[in-house]
Amino acid sequence: MISALIGSFLFGMVIVLYILIVLGFPLGEYAMGGKYKILPKHMRIVFVFSIILQLAGVLVLLQTGGYLKLMLPAGITRGMCFFYAFYLTLNVIMNFMSQSKKEKLVMTPLSAITAACFWITAMNSCVIT
């Protein structure tokens, strides 16, 4: 499923952004409502956990889409794919309500497309298996 590849690529772009934010690059306006240009060091640990969850999401999406074989049963990764789809749908709403113009203009469509990719992949996996 091409949606799994597109979603993984886009989620990967978010992972790179979050890594740069954790490293102290002035990209904080693209996350957390744009409150900080440079994220304070004590808040960067949250982004580290987010990066780990996003990497797991990429693996789930790739397995659910049939591009990767993990040791998790298809039903579990399908359920996880639906979870990420729902989470990203909520993320779209939060990004749209952001005070940060950069987050609203960049992250909202990025999250929306990624959420759609998770939804499409999850739904297609119900049909295939």
Tokens at 125, concatenated: 């996996």
pLDDT in tens, 97-117: 999 999 999 999 999 999 999
Residue 1 pLDDT greater than 80, yes or no: no
Q: Which two tokens stand for residue 48?
A: 């580290």
Tell me which amino acid residue 93 is.
I
In 3-state terms the chain splits into helix, strand, coil percentages (rounded to 5) of 80, 0, 20
Q: Which two tokens stand for residue 50?
A: 């987010």
pLDDT, tens digit, 9 for 90 and up, residues 23-54: 999 999 999 888 889 999 999 999 999 999 99
| Nearest-10 Cα torsion for 84, 90, 95, 96 | 140
Tell me how far apart the alpha carbons of residues 18 and 31 are, in angstroms, rounded to a whole number.
8
Check whether 7 has a pLDDT greater than 90: yes
Residue 4 pLDDT = 96
The answer to whether residue 81 scores a pLDDT higher than 70 is yes
